[in-house]
């Protein structure tokens, strides 16, 4: 019988678009933190509702499963959310993937931060998707 063992996880370099693309293409799906406060009404298409926000709060974890290009709306990340198949595009979202724009998260302890961590962090990518990405190490 084939068995796998989780040996740990690898945290990617913060806000590094190339590291995220490389890991996604060579390792597989990633866990990412995002600012999802604007996502509740998403029903389809390529979402870009965070790009004009000077401050974001990373407050949700999702699975980054791929990327692609929409002929009308451009490059996107493909995200699998856990809010059920009634949300978005059968439980998935296409999130704009453009030149990494950065914002400030002034309450990181509400997401991936620690209570005694830095009072603010820089988060890049649409909805801060590039800030905190990781994947399991399986043997």
pLDDT of residue 129 exceeding 90, the answer is yes
Residue 86 inside a domain? The answer is yes
> What would the pLDDT profile of 41-67 be if each residue is shown by its tens digit?
999 999 998 877 788 999 999 999 999
Look at residue 17 and tell me if it is in a domain. yes
In a domain, 121, yes or no: yes
Residue 90 pLDDT > 70: yes
Structurally, how many domains does the chain consist of?
A: 1
Nearest CA among 1, 31, 8 for reference residue 139: 8
Closest CA to 43 of 87, 109, 79, 82: 87
- What range does the domain containing 109 cover? 6-138
User: Is 78 a member of any domain?
Assistant: yes
From residue 35, alpha-carbon distances to 26, 126, 134 in Å are 26, 9, 16
Distance of CA 131 to the CA centre of its chain: 8
Model confidence pLDDT, tens digit, residues 21-47: 999 999 999 999 999 999 999 999 999
Going by pLDDT thresholds of 50, 70 and 90, the confidence category of residue 1 is low
Is pTM, for the whole model, over 0.75?
A: yes
**Domain presence at residue 1:** no
**pLDDT at res. 75:** 95
CATH assignment at residue 39: 3.90.70.10
């Amino acid at each position: 019988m084939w068995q796998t063992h989780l040996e740990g996880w690898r945290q990617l370099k913060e806000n590094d678009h190339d590291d995220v693309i490389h890991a996604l293409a060579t390792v597989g799906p990633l866990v990412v933190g995002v600012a999802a406060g604007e996502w509740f009404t998403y029903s389809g298409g390529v979402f870009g509702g965070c790009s004009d926000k000077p401050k974001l709060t990373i407050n949700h974890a999702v699975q980054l499963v791929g990327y692609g290009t929409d002929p009308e709306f451009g490059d996107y990340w493909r995200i699998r959310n856990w809010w059920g198949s009634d949300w978005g595009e059968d439980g998935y979202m296409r999130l704009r993937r453009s030149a990494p724009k950065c914002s400030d998260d002034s309450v990181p302890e509400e997401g991936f931060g620690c209570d005694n961590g830095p009072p603010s962090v820089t988060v890049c990518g649409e909805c801060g998707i590039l800030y905190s990405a990781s994947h399991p190490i399986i043997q």
